[in-house]
Chains A and B, each alone.
Chain A
């Protein structure tokens, strides 16, 4: 049963960028699973390969980048069917028919910048119609009405129907007066409303999975809370998986059931959210958690930060990439031997020499 529950499997994924100054290993041996209906959080500093990993799931790695190893397996389940076929996304033609069906239709994505994610010349309704017409799926109107769903699945929609769907989707993401807002251009909407429209677009085709790449970073906290609520509600109603990328630890604690921590293209720790927050194993995770400001902490005490700088990607440190900044640095070991991915207890994985016999 557990195997049937896996939606996307990333196995030892490696992505390299061949730029003039050398080769950057943006993603270096990352593996994790995303399960149906659950939220996986990915955290890490800027530039640690979170977004690139997400893009690899849609076979959309930006230009000089190349997948040089590993694979992304997508367990595709036809609507209403119980059988799954495994598609190796990393082997698909990035402009091919199949990947375009998966993009948007089965795996949706929303981005960090709601301000610039909508094409300025089209209204909110046009955007939703476009996504719907690209995949020719009628979004769920009555949850559970699976039969009617499959009948509608391959119908071409009329203009009136598409508009109706757009209004319906806008209402579901909590946009006030959707009948009017459907004709608004992006510049007439606020940041929060734009991000809601983005979510509406992504959800209009009922994807099995939503990749949210820092969806609330550009929004203020009250809007952020509303957006997160909407995402959670919708996830429950359609049993959708979410890959939630952020560097906001507070947000991820609220959203995710499992968390992957990344540093310099490598995953350093993976655990259930509760375990990770209460018993962080990797020194990097610990340092990250200590750097969260807390209400009620003594004033006058400086906020903890991680020592040192993120290393130059062209000259990565030998051994463990985190060793120059690590408070638990073991000379002679950490700078010589690269740690391996090791299971500790239950579903808690870590990549650190502290937990290895060397």
Chain B
């Protein structure tokens, strides 16, 4: 009795699993940086690209394939301006090379202002406004600021990257979400039932894994009818990506379920009258989740790259939908790389997202095993 009264006074001292995970995650600075970077990028690319981009997606200017304007503080006379500015662009036609080029005209100075009025849009699709993060504040209708140049139709490339990011980043998340559902449900069924069901599901995953990806994508993407609306095409593309990629996750989940289903708590739950679906999805799947989250996080970049590659090949998204892959299509030619290298500005953004995901994923992998040695 003395023992039990001593127990009564003791507070529960055990740290919860997630507290340990958070504690370990916090120690990994790289993972924190990756996580914050991703949060920032998702917020700006998916949440408020209309605000950050100075122009609308389809807003054309007379400057086609214009070089990026340099942001300056010091003008030609060496005078320092507190407010950054850009020079106006002057078109020159090089007859010998048969091409247009632009040079900066130091006589036209356009100051860059923050929170300026511009093209109207709806913030978060709800609040109508026309305030943009930055822009030129000038009466001159030719005033413009293209910090990353323009494309062949004279559209501000930075604005297009901002809008394109929305589709590219979302396709990674949505596609991975579908993969997660498909992979864990089929993996759980495969591992839990075993036997014929297992054999069938495993052969299907092997078939998908053995099939060369690009031809499979091509075949599936070609099956999307051309008359479908862009949104439907976008949705189908995520489904296709998820369909091709669920196999690996399903195998991992199956392996985990195979070992977990022999645990006594499954037997105990069964002896209390739990049915198969409850055992699979309430008692077994949660046990695999820490592992699955890591795999999923590390697989999202693959998803984004797959979309980019497909769209680049012209098999994925098509204009007027704009994703990073669609943007990169323009830089496919040697001509573009030689004379309009600013069209490669998409790539640093892509790299940054993928690096951030890998840093976060690595951190999560270490953190979700808080009892591990590392």
A residues adjacent to B (C-beta < 8 A): 58, 60, 95, 100-105, 108-113, 116-121, 130-131, 134-135, 174, 176-177, 180, 184-185, 187-188, 198, 201-202, 205, 211, 222
Q: Which residue of B lies closest to A105 (CB)?
A: B273
Quote the shortest CB–CB distance from B291 to chain A (angstroms): 13
Known: A116-B263, A222-B3. Is A100-B273 also a contact (CB below 8 A)?
yes
Known: A116-B264, A118-B265, A180-B12. Is A60-B273 also a contact (CB below 8 A)?
no
A113/B264 in contact, CB under 8 A:
yes
| Chain B residues in 8 Å Cβ range of A111 | 264, 267-268, 271
Supplied contacts A100-B275, A118-B268, A134-B272, 18 more A-B pairs, CB within 8 Å: A58-B271, A103-B273, A104-B271, A104-B272, A113-B264, A117-B265, A118-B265, A119-B283, A119-B286, A119-B287, A120-B265, A121-B287, A131-B273, A187-B17, A188-B14, A201-B268, A205-B272, A211-B271
Q: Which residue of B lies closest to A186 (CB)?
A: B265
Known: A119-B283, A222-B3. Is A108-B267 also a contact (CB below 8 A)?
no
Quote the shortest CB–CB distance from A258 to chain B (angstroms): 23
| Chain A residues in 8 Å Cβ range of B347 | none
Known: A118-B265, A176-B8, A187-B14. Is A109-B286 also a contact (CB below 8 A)?
no
Q: Does B107 contact A (CB under 8 A)?
A: no
Q: Which residue of A lies closest to B275 (CB)?
A: A100
Q: Which residue of B lies closest to A121 (CB)?
A: B286
A108/B8 in contact, CB under 8 A:
no
Known: A111-B264, A120-B287, A185-B16. Is A135-B273 also a contact (CB below 8 A)?
yes
| Chain A residues in 8 Å Cβ range of B287 | 119-121
Q: Which residue of B lies closest to A204 (CB)?
A: B272
B272/A202 in contact, CB under 8 A:
yes
| Chain A residues in 8 Å Cβ range of B275 | 95, 100
Which of B3, B7, B265, B273 counts the most chain A CB atoms within 10 A?
Answer: B273
B residues adjacent to A (C-beta < 8 A): 3-5, 7-8, 12, 14, 16-17, 263-265, 267-276, 282-283, 286-287
| Chain B residues in 8 Å Cβ range of A135 | 273
Instruction: Give complex CA distance A103, B275 in Å.
Output: 10
Instruction: Give complex CA distance A169, B99 in Å.
Output: 85
> What are 5 contact pairs spanning A and B, CB under 8 A?
A103-B272, A119-B282, A119-B286, A134-B272, A176-B8
Q: Which residue of B lies closest to A190 (CB)?
A: B7
Known: A116-B264, A176-B7, A222-B3. Is A108-B14 also a contact (CB below 8 A)?
no
Please tell me which one of the listed residues A176, A180, A187, A201 contacts residue B272 in the complex, with CB atoms under 8 A apart: A201
Which of A176, A187, A201, A211 counts the most chain B CB atoms within 10 A?
Answer: A176
Q: Which residue of A lies closest to B283 (CB)?
A: A119
B8/A177 in contact, CB under 8 A:
yes
Quote the shortest CB–CB distance from B3 to chain A (angstroms): 7
| Chain A residues in 8 Å Cβ range of B273 | 100-105, 131, 134-135
Please tell me which one of the listed residues A95, A131, A176, A211 contacts residue B276 in the complex, with CB atoms under 8 A apart: A95
| Chain B residues in 8 Å Cβ range of A100 | 273-275
Quote the shortest CB–CB distance from B97 to chain A (angstroms): 68
| Chain A residues in 8 Å Cβ range of B267 | 60, 111, 117
Which of A117, A185, A201 counts the most chain B CB atoms within 10 A?
Answer: A117
B274/A116 in contact, CB under 8 A:
no
Quote the shortest CB–CB distance from B15 to chain A (angstroms): 9
Quote the shortest CB–CB distance from B298 to chain A (angstroms): 23
A119/B16 in contact, CB under 8 A:
no
B276/A117 in contact, CB under 8 A:
no
Instruction: Give complex CA distance A174, B8 in Å.
Output: 11
Instruction: Give complex CA distance A129, B283 in Å.
Output: 14
B271/A108 in contact, CB under 8 A:
yes
A188/B12 in contact, CB under 8 A:
yes
A117/B264 in contact, CB under 8 A:
yes
A131/B3 in contact, CB under 8 A:
no
Q: Which residue of B lies closest to A223 (CB)?
A: B3
| Chain A residues in 8 Å Cβ range of B4 | 174, 176
| Chain B residues in 8 Å Cβ range of A103 | 270-273
Quote the shortest CB–CB distance from A108 to chain B (angstroms): 7
Quote the shortest CB–CB distance from A131 to chain B (angstroms): 5
| Chain B residues in 8 Å Cβ range of A180 | 12
| Chain B residues in 8 Å Cβ range of A95 | 275-276
Instruction: Give complex CA distance A333, B272 in Å.
Output: 47
| Chain B residues in 8 Å Cβ range of A176 | 4-5, 7-8
Instruction: Give complex CA distance A95, B282 in Å.
Output: 17
Instruction: Give complex CA distance A353, B159 in Å.
Output: 96
